[in-house]
Structure 1
Amino acid sequence: MTTSSTCGDGSARDIRAVDIGHGAIGSGRSTRRRPDLRIAQFIAEALGGADNVLNVGAGAGSHESAAHTVTAVEPSGPPRARRPARLTRAIDAVAENLPFADGEFDGAMALFSVHQWRDPGAGLREIRRVTHGPVVVLTRAPDLVRDFWLYAYAPEVLDIEARRHPPVEDLAAALGGTGTIRTVPIPLDCTDGFDEAYYGRPEMLLDPAARQACSAWSFIDDEVRERFDGTLRSDLASGAWDQRFGHLRTQPTYDGSLVILRATH
């Protein structure tokens, strides 16, 4: 696969659905991880107008508005149960063994889920098998995860994130063909509350519910959480955080580790 950078706007339309898994994540996810329409536009553009789209690791259906008609796959029961009534039921299946015919879909997407699969390479090869159009993967580039300011306060959290996410180049190799790897700018008021969504709103991460919505926080102990909370509170009160990172409070977007991989035959 070749890689390059591109840019542009996308569009969103109507929906149908089928799913694949996110597993158990903190209780704050449903309220803090709300789809951001600006990120959805990037996904829609990458899908290129594909009509019949497979969503693998679909969870509760976040960002499915980026596609026209969606078949969702999700192996975990709790996310399937959280799908809104407007979406059809998700299929209980895993990425590595999809119950579909070769080339059945015009396009496919995997959004914030590849790092949770048992075998990402096998899952992506299976998605390529059942898709004759573009495959779009929204993920995080592990080599960029530690560049975020959170690393100064809770390095354990971002070390976990970096280890969990497969290298984007490995994902591209599994899909084969040609494609692009593109950084997705994160808006200052991003509604999808993964950690970098709060790049200019550090106070938000003092809320345990906001942290629980980011699954990496579930892998650390209370000592790390308490140290993070105390240190960040102290630096916000003294102005130390703003001295180092205050420019982020008014920066419209942040180019962090969030990327879209788009692959075609």
Structure 2
Amino acid sequence: MARYDSIGINYADLRIPDPRIAAAIAQALGPARTVINVGAGTGSYEPADREVTAVEPSIEMIRKRRQPATAVVQANADALPFADKAFDAAMAILTIHHWPDKAAGLREVRRVTKGRIVLLTFDPAQRPWLTDYLPELARLDDAQMPSIADYARWLGPVRIEPLWVPHDCTDGFLYAYWRRPEAYLDAHIRSGSSSFWALRGSDAGLARLADDLQSGAWARRYGDLRTKQTYDAGYRLVIAEPEGAAD
């Protein structure tokens, strides 16, 4: 059974694509007309004006899709059932940390893509403020997330662009609530992030966060975040051009 068959219960309600993030991804895809979305989940950030083929291992996530793709295929990233260079471009959005063999998966993505590959991922070298309360998240990031250097090793030359998270982000991924710390105390909201499903022993850290919010300690340490519109939480667009492309 795919992981999201069990943990994707509230995904459709809590992971609403943010239009500003969607615009950044669409721009990164360039002029491609045919796009493969690997680890597609419910279809978040698939551009509606292109021919998209979605690949997703979880039947539960496929059932929760918000919009129809040209085709939806239940498959894993490391065994894509397509011919070489079948697509103009590829995208993989906040998914690579779930792939059992990340190198093999990206090799497959490169094989079936003749043009640009666009990944949205997280740089595990970053430490958003939430990790001060839940250091387990930092250890989980280190264990699950490839380093930024890995992408160049697996895909060749890549361009890395920070994806700044808006303060009112509609997509409830792990660090989306950077300016809304109270949200992390809500079990329903936490259920939209796979990282919280993987954590063990987070109660003490969440209790400390609740105490600090009530006492004002959080505001004294991080209150300046309340004045910011965007935040570099560590999310990165990794953009790989086809082999032999000019710089």
Give the RMSD, CA atoms, in angstroms.
Answer: 1.8
How many Å separate the matches in 2 of 1:205 and 1:55? 29
The alpha-carbon deviation at position 175 of structure 1 amounts to: 1.4
TM-fit CA distance, 1:162: 2.6
Q: Does 1:237 align with 2:219?
A: no
TM-score by length of 2: 0.91
2:66 counterpart residue number: 84
Match of 2:116 among 130, 134, 139: 134
- Per the alignment, residue 184 of structure 1 pairs with 163
Q: How does 1:43-54 map to 2 (within 5 A)?
A: 43-54=25-36
Cα deviations across residues 204-260 of structure 1 (Å, max 9, x unaligned)? 111101111111111223xx3321332111111110000000111121100121001
- Among candidates 42, 48, 60, match of residue 42 of structure 2: 60
Which secondary structure state, in structure 1, belongs to the residue aligned with residue 35 of structure 2? Answer: strand
Specify the alignment match of 2:17 in structure 1: 35
Mapped pair 1:120 → 2:120: no
Q: 1:137 to 1:85 in 2, by over 3 A?
A: closer
List alignment gaps of at least 5 residues for structure 1.
1-19
Correspondence 1:150 to 2:127: no
Displacement of 1:113 in angstroms is 0.8
Amino acid at match of 1:172: A
Distance 1:40 1:240, change over 3 A: same
Q: Does 1:74 align with 2:56?
A: yes
Q: Are residues 1:216 and 2:198 paired?
A: no
1:22 deviation in Å? 5.0
Count of residues in correspondence between the two structures = 241
Secondary structure, aligned partner of 2:76: coil
Distance in 1 separating the partners of 2:77 and 2:111: 11
Q: Which amino acid aligns with 1:251?
A: K
| Secondary structure of residue in 2 paired with 1:90 | strand
User: Are 1:60 and 1:82, in contact at CA under 8 Å, matched by a contact in 2?
Assistant: yes
One-letter amino acid matched to 1:36? D
Q: CA contact under 8 A between 1:60 and 1:84: conserved in structure 2?
A: yes
Give 3-state SS (helix, strand or coil) of 2:66's partner: coil
Q: With structure 1 as the length reference, what TM-score do the two structures score? A: 0.85
For 1:4, the equivalent position in structure 2 comes to none
Give the CA deviation at 1:91.
Answer: 0.3
Could you tell me which runs of 5 or more consecutive residues in structure 2 were left unpaired when the two chains were aligned: 243-247
What is the CA–CA distance in structure 1 between the aligned matches of 2:113 and 2:3, rounded to whole Å? 19
Match of 2:202 among 210, 221, 225: 225
Corresponding residue to 2:183 among 188, 204, 207:
204
- Paired-residue identity, %: 44
Q: Which amino acid aligns with 1:239?
A: G
